[in-house]
Amino acid sequence: MASSSSKCRTYDVFLSFRGDTRRNLTDYLARTLENHGFYVFLDENNLTRGEPITPALKQAIKDSRLAAIIFSRAYAESRWCLEELVEILACKETMGLMVLPIFYDIDPNRVRHQTHDFDVAFQRHQERFSAERVLTWRNTLNAAAELAGEGFSATAGYEGRFVQQIVDEIARKLKNTYLTVAPNPVGIDSRVQEIGKYLDDGGLDDVRIIGIWGMGGLGKTTVAKAIFNEYQDKFAGRSFLANVREEKLVDSQNTLLYDVLRLRNIKVSRVDEGTEDIKRRLGNLRVLVIVDGVDSVKQLEALAIKRDSFGPGSRIIITTRDKHLLEILKADTICHLPAMNTEEALELLSWHAFSKNYPNNEYLKVSREVVDYCGGLPLALHVLGSHLFTRSTREWESALKKWKRSRPYPDIHQNLKISYDGIKDDDVKSMFLDISCFFIGMNKDYVMKILDPCDEDRRDQGATIGIRELHNQCLVTVDTVGNLMMHGLIRDTGREIVREKSPDIKGKRSRLWDHEDVIHVLKTRTSLEKLKILNLGYCNSLERSPNFSKIPNLERLILECCKNLQAIPNLPKNLEILEADECIALQEMPNFSKMSRMRELHLNHSPKLTEISGLHKSLNSMTRIHMEGCTNLNADFRKKILQGWCASGYGGLFLPGNEIPSWFMPVDPRVEIFVPQSFGCDLKALTVCIIYSSDDSQPAGSLCIRVANCTQNTEFLISPMRATVITTHENYLWLGHLSNNKLNVKGGDRIIFYAHFVGPTTTDDIHLRVQKIGINLEKEKLINEYALDCQSMPYSSECKEDGNLEAGHNDDSSHENQSLKRLSSDPSVERNAEEETDEIMQEGRTRGC
C-alpha cells in the first residue's frame, strides 16, 4: 500500500519535532534533506502553531510519504507534539505512511516507558487532561519507540555524522519504490532469477559487470527494471538510467549522480567533468547501476562504466543490442536474453488481446498464427495484441495476412530499425539488406561468394567481419551447419527499409524479392541496361533460360542447381561469370566464340553436356573453367580446350580425366628438373597438369605446389586451387601455368618440383591424392602475354641461405612416400638431359601445344 499511495503524495518528509531542536538538529536535517532533493514539510514554515492540532497539519501528514519524529528530552512536554504523533501513527496504519523515529540525545527506553524527563512531563499532563487522553499518548509513544529508528549515541555524539546517517536511511526508504515493469510480466521472474545468479556471484568486495544482450523488442529493459526492483534495497546507492542512447551524455551523468547521492546542488555541464565527478564521488560507494539501451562506447566512457569507478561490492548491468560493446567492456557475464516460448507468447498475447491469460476458443487458431508470426518477441506480442483487441476473427486474419505480405506494423518496424541505423559501415548495411531479401537459410560461404566475388582470402576476411557485426547487432545468426538465419520480423524490417526508399515505383527499388514484383518489373520496364547480376539459381521449373537481349550489360549470371534446365540458347556478350553448377539436365550451350569478356565458367556436374562451341576461341580472358563431373564431353572438344588452355588460359582448368595429355612430360609428384641451357632467359612458364582423386566424397584440402631453385637458393609455395570432388574415386584433371615472372628460372638452373594436397590441420587427414603429373617448360611467346600478366595464383617465396633446399622437403616427401626422381643430377649427363628435355618440348609444339 505504501508504494502505490506514495505516487500522489505532496511531501517526501514530514518533520515532527519539539522547539528545543529547531535551531540545531531539526534545521540541519531539514536543510540536508532539501539539498538531497527531498521536499520537506516544516510546520513553522507552512502552518501557524496553535491548539488544537489544525486540519491543515493533519492533511500535511497525510500528504507525506515519510514522517521523521525527532524525540528529544523535551518532546513529551508538548501537547502539540503528542497529538501530532497520534495522527502520524494513525496514518501509518490507514495509509501506509512510513515512520522513522529519531532519538536525539535520549535513550529509546525513556520514550518507550516514559521515564525521567518523559515521566515529569506526563505528571503535568495528568493534572490537565483526562486519563483517557493521557493513556492514548502513552500508548502512542510506546508504539513509536518500538519502531526501528536512528539513535544519536551510535555516532558517538557527532551531529554531522548523525544527520548523514538519518538522510541515508530516509533516502533508502523513499528510494525503495518500484519501477513500473510491465502490466502483464509474463516470463519475467524466470529471467530475473537466471540473471540474478550472476549478480550473486563473486566475493563481497568484487565489482561485477553483467551484460543483457538481445535483439530489439525482446524485453531487455523490462527484465532490467525487474532486476532493479528485486535488488535495489541491497545497495547504498542505486540508479536506473533508461534508454541512454536517446539522452544527452551530461543528462545521463547528472541523473546517475543525483540518483545515487540525492544531492540537488551537484550538476555537471561538461562530459569530461561529469566522468571525473562520477569516479570521485561514487568510487567508495556500493552501488547498483543499470545502464539501459547502450549503443556506443562513448556512453560507457562518459558514465565511467568500469570496475574501478565504483565501490567494492557494486554491480553494473548493461542492456544493449550490440554484443561487441560488452566484449570491449570485458563484462564478467553476457546474458543472451531468450525469446518467449510458445506458451509464454500465447499468454502475453492473450492478456493484451483478451484481458485474460488464454484466448477464446474461436480465436485460438488465429492466435497461434499471430504468435508464430511474432517469433517470441514480447514487443510484437504486446503491440499486435493491443491492436487486435475487440476485433473479430476475420479482422485478425486479414491483418495477419497484410503483415505477412507487405509492411510490418509501424511501431515494431521503427523499434527494430534502430539496430540497422546503428551500423556505421555501409557495406555491412548492404549485406544485411541482401540477406534479408534473398539469402535467409542459405549457406554463408556461398552467399559471401555471391556478395563479394573478389579473391577468396579477401572475401573470407570481409565476410567474417560483416557477419560478426550483424551477429553482434542481433540481426543475423549462423546455424550449426553454416546457414544464415534471421528472425522473421527482422527480415520484414530489412525489406521495409528497401521498400520505403521507393514505395510506389517497384522498378526503382534496389532489391526485389517477391516474384510478383519481379514479374511486374520485367514486363513493364524497358533501364534493364544497368542490371549487372542476375540470380536464377534453384529455379527447378526453369527448362530453358530466358532471352537476355534486354540486359546487355549483365556481368554475372547464376543458374546454379536449376535441375531441369536443359538449354542456355544465348548469353549477353558482356557476361564475365556464368555459374551453372549442378544443372544435371543441361545439354545445350550457346556459341562462345565471341564471349570476349568471359572470366569464369562454372558448369560443375552437367553430365549430359557434350561440348561448348567456340569455347576454345575465348580462352584469352578466362581465369577459371570448372567442368568437373561433365563426364560425356567429346574427345575433340576436350583436346581443343586442353591445347587452348596450354597456350592461352591462366588460373585453372578443371575437367574429368584419367590421363595426362600426350604433349606433357610425365613426372612423379616430387621430381628434380634440370633446365636446359638453351632456354637462357626465354623461359615463360611452367605449365602443369595434375590428375587427382579422393576416397572421400567431401574432402577438405588444397593443392600445394613447391618450386625450389637449387641454383638460386629460392623456394616458392603456390596454392592454385581448392579441390572439387563430385564422385568418390573419380579422377579429375587440373591444368594451369606457373609464371616465370615470379619464379625467375633461367637456363641451367636445377629445380625441385613437388605437388601434393594439404588440409586445414594436418596432412594425415587428407583424402585427396595426386595421381599423375605432367610438366612443360614453355618458351617466350608460346604462352599468351595477357594470360601471364594477369596471373592470379598466390605465390609466397622464401630465400634459403644454407644452400640445402633438398633437406627442406623431407617432411613433405614422407607423406607422399615418393622417391626423388632426377632427370639430371650428374654434370656428366647434363647434355643428355638437355637433349631429352628439348625433345619432349619439341614434341609438345608438334602436337599444337
Residues with catalytic function: 84
Rounded CA separation 523/512 (Å): 14
Burial group, residue 358, by CB count within 10 angstroms (0-12, 13-18, 19+): middle
Per-residue cell: 666 = 610425365
Per this entry, what is the length of the chain?
A: 849
> What letter does residue 849 receive in the DSSP assignment?
-
Q: Which residue has the cell 556461398?
A: 446
422 Cβ contact list (under 8 Å, min separation 6) = 295, 321, 322, 473
Long-range CB pairs of 834-839 (<8 Å, 24+ gap) are 834/674, 834/676, 834/677, 834/678, 837/665, 837/673, 837/674, 837/675, 837/676, 837/777, 838/676, 838/678
Strand partners, 732: 656, 692
**DSSP secondary structure code for residue 828 in this structure:** G
**β-bridge partners, 484:** 478
C-alpha cell at 363: 480465436
Q: Is the peptide bond before 338 cis (omega within 30 degrees of 0)?
A: no
Give the 3-state DSSP-derived string for 509-568, with helices as H, strands as E and coil as C.
CCCCCCHHHHHHHHHHCCCHHHCCEEECCCCCCCCECCCCCCCCCCCEEECCCCCCCCEC
Distance of CA 244 to the CA centre of its chain: 20
Using alpha carbons, list the distances in angstroms from residue 445 to 462, 479, 487, 582, 654.
11, 13, 20, 17, 21
- C-alpha–C-alpha distance, residues 544 and 449, integer Å: 25
Q: CA 287, CA 369: separation in Å to the nearest integer? A: 44
Q: Which three cell numbers stand for residue 552?
A: 546487355
How far apart CA 584 and CA 563 sit, in angstroms, is: 6
Given its phi and psi angles, is residue 96 left (phi above 0), alpha (psi -120 to 50 degrees) or beta? left
In one-letter notation, the amino acid at residue 698 is Q
- In 325-378, DSSP assigns E strands to 333-336
> Exposed (0-12), middle (13-18) or buried (19+): which is 113, by Cβ within 10 Å?
middle
Q: Which of 232, 239, 259, 252 is nearest to 295 (CA)?
A: 252
Give Cα 709 to chain centroid, integer Å: 48
- Strands of the 600-602 sheet, one edge to the other: 533-535, 556-558, 577-579, 600-602, 624-626, 652-656, 732-739, 683-694, 768-779, 665-667
What amino acid is encoded at 23 in this protein?
A: R
**Distance, CA of 580 to CA of 599 (rounded, Å):** 14
Compute the C-alpha angle 815/817/823, nearest 5°. Answer: 120
Quote the crossing angle between the two packed helices 378-387 and 364-374, to the nearest 10°.
140
